[in-house]
Structure 1
Amino acid sequence: MSAAVSIWIVTLLGVASMVVFHLFITSTFPLAVPLEWNILFGFIAVALFAGYPNGDGYSIFDFSEPWMLPVFAAALLFFPVLGNLRPDLVSFLPSMRQYAGNWASAVWTFKPGADQKLEAAGMPVGLHTEQLAALDIPRDVRKIMIDLFVAWRSMHSQGRGLISVLRTYLGDEIDRREVWEGETGANLLLGWNFGDGHIHGIRFLEALRERCDFEPGEFVVAWVESQPVHRSHQEWFVFDGALGVTLRGTWQVADCVAEQPWLPNGPIPLEVTWQSGRAGATK
């Protein structure tokens, strides 16, 4: 068997593997995933690697202008490298960290009735409970449906950390609050979120603080940045809708991974790095 035939067989095996890979992802219908990307990349694998194989002059070393190779390589590597070292500066999408369970996220909590104040921020739709009530869904079922999003977040390691922060900060009062996944809150106010917690980060929270006239403790958020590739911890903060950021700290990702989603052993260990003098006034 000639070298050219061997290379062609390896190419076809690689193309077939990529097509099967993307078809499998599509077949599972995963939550919040743009499946059109998988269809597109399955097609691209066939069109590019089978239609224009390296042996026909289409390898990365066959640029007509050799200087273009380092330019393209630098352009393609810049955001993934920066985003993995400084995830606070780059969305998880250009960082190529999508769907790894490691991105900026948040959990929102409200005292009973305080979520109504979101209407002052120009919310274009009704609250979750109002939308579900319009579908004649029973009250108890509505509550479960909203809580499912928080349960889903707790399946990721940072969700266990966020609930640990809120449980430590609010104590048993968290059981008397409305608890939302941050992405669903952003959906109500912005119309979309795409899963990146930077969209509903500190600037967004400060905008709500200016518009909604919350009292101290009515609206409390735990927010976390994704884990940089070279560190073992994540940085989080607590935001009060009247007071701003009241607490900052870190947790070890290994502690989140080791714990069960429902935190049977209580909150994971947290390290507080900064505390506002009014942090205790929010409860």
Structure 2
Amino acid sequence: MLADRTRPAPVDVSGRAGVGLDEVVQEAANLTRVDRKYLVDRHLAESFLTLLPASFRVLTIDGRRTTSYSSVYFDTARLDACRDHVQRRRRRWKVRSRMYVEDRLCRFEVKTRDGRGVTQKQVAASHPDQHGLLGSDEAAFVTGTLRDHGVDVDVATLAPSMRVDYQRLTLADTAAALRVTLDWGVECSLDGGRVWVDEDWVLVETKGGLRPSPADALLGSLGARPRSFSKYVSAASLLREDIPDNDVRRLRGRQLHLQEAIA
């Protein structure tokens, strides 16, 4: 049973129109996209949503406007996926099992990134009881997907490495094929240690094409700047001394907090 980590949304979207899951899924059928991430304080996030065009509607499922996510990442013993990200390797990859907690919907996801900065995400349905497990069906899916994207990884070397839990609010401009997500209550667990994002900070992510979207322009006008930020990689770099990432370490004590494993 997944723990209840529900926390109230840090922003108010009560006056914004909703959009159904089917319409958002249809818009997201082509999952080739560029993701841009911004770590902002709650006040900037509130200003951003106030100014965001009304064409961005809030994803609403059974009257619920937020969703709890629980992800288990798979990596090698050396955390090669983390290292590829830190070293800015041309071809990067991530493998994870993701659970949409309230809906008991589970799927396996493989994300790859090419030299243009384009992210491709392939997904396969998985049974909720398989969350966090790499069964034979999941392993076959991962093997084929990585191979098709030119990534040479032996799936037999992958094991669960980190659990990441958070809440997400999604807004979509379906006519323009643009999305914005806001994540809060982020908690990451690895090897008995824990990293979490401060409650006064929100991770905003825009999902669109190669060119920055109007949402990116709005964030820039408010003083936010995109940054390379991965929940998985950021937490790993703080909890594992062998994963260097000086940019993330500068966030410790303000945006990010750390509780190391008890020896």
After TM superposition, the score normalised by the length of structure 2 is 0.27
More strand by share: 2
Between structures 1 and 2, the one with greater helix share: 1
- Higher relative CO (Cα under 8 Å, sequence separation at least 6) belongs to 2
Choose 1 or 2 for highest CA Rg: 1
